[in-house]
Amino acid sequence: MLSNATTSGAEPNKAPTFTHAPRTPIHNRTSSDVSSSSSASTDAPDPYTSIYPDGKMSLAGISLRAMLLGTSLGLSASMSLFLSTVYPNPLWRVPFFVASLSLFHFLEFYVTARYNTRYATVSAFLLSSNGWAYNIAHGSAIVECLVSNIFWPGQSAAGRMVTVTEPFFGNSVSLLVIVGFVLLLIGQAIRTIAMAQAASNFNHHVQSQHQEGHILVNTGLYRYLRHPSYFGFFWWGLGTQLVLGNIVCFVGYALVLWRFFSTRIKREEAYLISFFGDEYIQYRKATPVGIPGI
C-alpha cells in the first residue's frame, strides 16, 4: 500500500484514527474494467468504519479472499504442472484455467490497493461484482473442456494440422495452445500495467463527473491504446479459451466481450468528450482501441 495508516488510542469499540496522505491525481480515466457501472466518485469508503466486518474495506473479508485465491493458485498450478509433465493428461488445461483466474482476481485487488488505495474494497477482487453471467461464462468454459476431452479425446484432422513437436521433451504441442498462452500473458500484463499507470484515477466503475485537477492520459500504454485495460481483458479472455481448446466458448467469449466493450466504450467516451472536448476527439482519432471493429 502506498499510504501509511496509524492507529491512535484504538479501543475495542472505537474506530482507529488514520493518517492518510493525499495523492496527486496524474491520470483521468472513466473506467478500467468489466464490472457494472456507477456514477460518481462517492463510492470511496469511509476509512474509519469500513475496515470492520461487513464493511466495504473489511480486513477480515480481504484477508480471507486473499488466502483463498493464493491457495487456489498454488494448488491448481501444481496440479496443472503435474498433469502436463509427470502424468501427461490433456485435462491439465482445467487447473491451469483456474490458476489464471485466481491470479487475475488477486491482481485486480493488489494493483488497486497499491496504486489507488482508497478504492481497495472487498469488491475490488471482482469475485462477485461482475454478475451471474460472468460466473456462468467461466463455468461453461470448464464444462466444455471436460466434456470434449472425456467424450471426444484425441485431436481432429484440423487439430493435427496445427500441432508441432516441442524440442525439449518431444511432446506434441498445439499451435493454438501456444497462441493462447501468448494472448493470455500479453492480455494480463497490459491490463495490470494499465491499472498501475492510471494509479489514483483508476476505478472499476464508469465515472460520470469530471473531478478537478484531472487531465487526459496520453502517456505510457495510453499513448498506443486508448483503453488498454479493456484491450488486455478482451485478449486475455480469448487466450484462456485457446489454451482450454474450447471452440464453442471461444466464439461465445469473442461475441459477448466484443458486444460488452463496444457498448461500454461508447458510453464511456461520451463522458470523456464532455470532459475534454476536442482534445479527446483528436486523441480518439489518433489512438486505437486494439479490439477488432471497435
Q: Give the separation between CA 92 and CA 82, rounded to whole angstroms.
A: 8
User: For residue range 207-250, what is the model confidence (pLDDT) as tens digits?
Assistant: 666 666 567 878 899 999 999 999 999 999 999 999 999 999 99
Question: So what's the pLDDT on residue 21?
Answer: 43
pLDDT, the chain, mean: 83
CB-based contact 57:51 (threshold 8 Å): yes
Q: Whose CA is closest to 91, among 235, 236, 249, 243? A: 243
User: For residue range 102-134, what is the model confidence (pLDDT) as tens digits?
Assistant: 999 999 999 999 998 988 999 999 998 888 899
Q: Which residues contact 262 (CB under 8 A, 6 or more apart)?
A: 293, 294
Query: For 245, phi and psi rounded to 5 degrees?
Result: 80, 20
User: For residue range 26-83, what is the model confidence (pLDDT) as tens digits?
Assistant: 344 444 444 434 444 456 666 678 999 989 999 999 999 999 999 999 999 999 999 9
Look-up of cell digits 472499476: 204
Q: Give the separation between CA 210 and CA 57, rounded to whole angstroms.
A: 25
